[in-house]
Amino acid sequence: MGRPVDAELYEHVVIACGLNVDFIQMRHGDETFVGDGGSQLSGGQRARVALARTLYCDSDVVLLDDPLAAGKFDL
């Protein structure tokens, strides 16, 4: 994200977004190459990665476009 890694924040964000479970399933964990020539992510995984990137940036303003679209929720 263009700045030094904050390991503590990274760990908190990964757990808060549920990516720790996804990383266990990936061959190289959080260092798995994703995209052309790499692994593919499900819609839910893509949503969790996007949310994690947003939280890690620690922005003052966040715009979410239908953040619950990839999951099933009982309300």
Segment 39-63 mean pLDDT: 86
pLDDT at residue 46 above 90?
no
Segment 44-67 mean pLDDT: 84
Cα–Cα distance, 47 to 24 (Å, whole number): 17
pLDDT reported for residue 40: 85
Regarding predicted confidence, which is higher, 28 or 37?
28
User: Has residue 68 been placed in a domain?
Assistant: no
- Number of domains, the chain: 1
User: Has residue 46 been placed in a domain?
Assistant: yes
Domain that holds residue 20: 7-57
H helices within the chain, ranges in order?
7-16, 19-25, 43-57
pLDDT at residue 35 above 90?
no
Task: Look at residue 5 and give its three-state secondary structure.
Answer: coil
User: Has residue 67 been placed in a domain?
Assistant: no
Percent with pLDDT over 70 in the chain: 87
Regarding pTM above 0.85, the answer is no
